[in-house]
Amino acid sequence: MAIEQCDVDTAFLYEKLEPEIYMELPEGLRELLELAEAQDEDDVVCMLLQSLYGLK
């Protein structure tokens, strides 16, 4: 009889988020918004739709 086992540490890494979670813009994205001429780019945040690695 052969038994195989697999452990996936990141199985739920990209699950959908139930509560609304917002984050500050990562470096580089602010420059992209400036190119797109976004208004009030100082107050812009990202709403996460899926989990990020290390999100607690």
- The answer to whether residue 42 scores a pLDDT higher than 70 is no
% residues pLDDT > 90 (the chain): 0
Structure tokens at 41: 């780019």
Extents of the domains making up the chain: 20-50
| 30 SS3 class | helix
Residue 6 — pLDDT band, cuts 50, 70, 90?
confident
- The answer to whether residue 48 scores a pLDDT higher than 60 is yes
**Span between the terminal Cα atoms of the chain, in Å:** 40
Average pLDDT score, the chain? 75
Q: Between these two residues, 56 and 2, which has the higher pLDDT value?
A: 2
The whole-angstrom separation of Cα 17 and Cα 21 is: 8
pTM: 0.49
Torsion angle of the four alpha carbons 23, 28, 32, 37, in this order, in degrees rounded to the nearest 10:
70
